[in-house]
Amino acid sequence: MINIAIIGCGHWGPNYLRNLVHFKCVNRIFCCDTNQGVLDKLKISYHRIETIADYKSAIKNQDIDAIIIATPTSTHFTIAKEAILAGKHVLVEKPLSLKYEECTELEQLSQKTGKILMVAHTFIYNPAVVKIKEFIDKKQLGDIYYIHSTRTHLGLIREDVNAAWDLAPHDVSIFLYFLNSMPLTVSALGGAFLKKSREDVVFVNMRFPQGIVGNIHISWADSNKVRVVEVIGSRARAVFNDLDNLEKVKLYEKGISTDKPYDNFGEFQYRLRDGDIISPKIDLTEPVKLLCDHFLDCIINNKKPITDGKNGSDVVKVMRAIDESLKNGGMPVNV
């Protein structure tokens, strides 16, 4: 049986609580937040939980085996480091940290202590994203040309990070998962229209090995809420629409590629492929539940998480390159 503490219960933490109460392997659940009103409300809904105001008390508590960190990003490193050094398994909300060096330090601490360090890149556990990964690995899309994602809406305007740090880690983690590689270069342009202190609209371009291109559009200021990832290949196109509860994934068996190697334009021919539009059945289990299940399984069976410290560090490394490019007017940055 596992005893878990959730540190940070004001925004995203309750989503973990809502799922953890249903796992038979979870014994005691501690909720930790500096806002006593938040804890009081949770206690009304979940009578079995125990509440703690100071996160350090949770970390020092010998009865607690694992910590889930759902606090502001700027606090992730400090809390995670203290928790790992105290012998706790740790699940951290994305991004792992705002600094790549801190991510690698946490990764090394996890390896040294033998404690699980997992990053909550939730979309990697989304059955729709997993299905598209299967399409890619089975070569159903052919050669991958490019990946494009759009993640736009009005707000929530965060005060601690810009729109890129808020939303792009989702898409960066998906791109790395699909391609099993890091981008070679990153460039990004953005605009600060709502608050001059940080970008609320960002366009990211990435170049991966084999000439594959990645593009991300992030916005807090677009009235059209969109959550779409498209993977375009020579044989087919796969689309993940997170807002479509009926058909989250569609496979368009249409593509275009060169018919054969050519020496000049006169010999150039296109090969057009037409085919069906397939909407596979997707498991509708909540990704947060699947993520929690994976975290618990890794603890119980000493498994390496899919989104481990190395994965979290890789995503932050790309995010730092995006930051650097933003500050330099879109200048390409080597990753």
What pLDDT shows up at residue 10? 87
Q: Cβ neighbours of residue 16 under 8 Å, at least 6 residues apart?
A: 6, 68, 70, 288, 292
For residue 187, the domain's CATH number is 3.30.360.10
The reply to whether 57 and 191 lie within a common domain is no
The reply to whether 108 and 8 lie within a common domain is yes
Nearest-angstrom CA–CA distance, 188 and 160? 20
Using the 3D structure, point to which of 122, 151, 186 is the last residue of a domain. Answer: 122
In a domain, 303, yes or no: no
Where are any strands of DSSP class E within the chain? 2-7, 26-32, 50-52, 66-69, 89-93, 117-120, 144-154, 185-191, 201-207, 213-219, 221-233, 237-241, 249-252, 255-258, 270-273, 277-278, 333-334
Nearest-angstrom CA–CA distance, 162 and 164? 5
In a domain, 297, yes or no: no
What pLDDT shows up at residue 154? 84
Nearest-angstrom CA–CA distance, 176 and 293? 22
The reply to whether 51 and 94 lie within a common domain is yes
Nearest-angstrom CA–CA distance, 272 and 123? 32
The reply to whether 145 and 281 lie within a common domain is yes
> What confidence tens digit (pLDDT) does each residue in 85-136 have?
999 999 999 999 999 999 999 999 999 999 999 999 999 999 999 999 999 9
> What confidence tens digit (pLDDT) does each residue in 193-224 have?
988 888 999 999 999 999 999 999 999 999 99
Nearest-angstrom CA–CA distance, 99 and 76? 10
Q: Cβ neighbours of residue 305 under 8 Å, at least 6 residues apart?
A: 116, 117, 118, 119, 294, 295, 298, 311
The pTM for the full model equals 0.91
What pLDDT shows up at residue 259? 57
How big is the chain, counted in residues?
Answer: 335
The reply to whether 136 and 117 lie within a common domain is no
Using the 3D structure, point to which of 92, 122, 152 is the last residue of a domain. Answer: 122
In the block, residue with structure tokens 């991300």: 216
In a domain, 210, yes or no: yes
What pLDDT shows up at residue 273? 61
Which residue ranges of the chain lie beneath pLDDT 50? none
In a domain, 105, yes or no: yes
Nearest-angstrom CA–CA distance, 156 and 39? 23
DSSP per-residue codes, 144-170: EEEEEEEEEEE----SSS-HHHHHHHH
Domain containing 24 equals 2-122
In a domain, 81, yes or no: yes
**Mean pLDDT of all residues belonging to the chain:** 93
The reply to whether 101 and 211 lie within a common domain is no
Using the 3D structure, point to which of 67, 91, 122 is the last residue of a domain. Answer: 122
Amino acid at site 13: G
Distance from chain centroid for Cα 247: 21
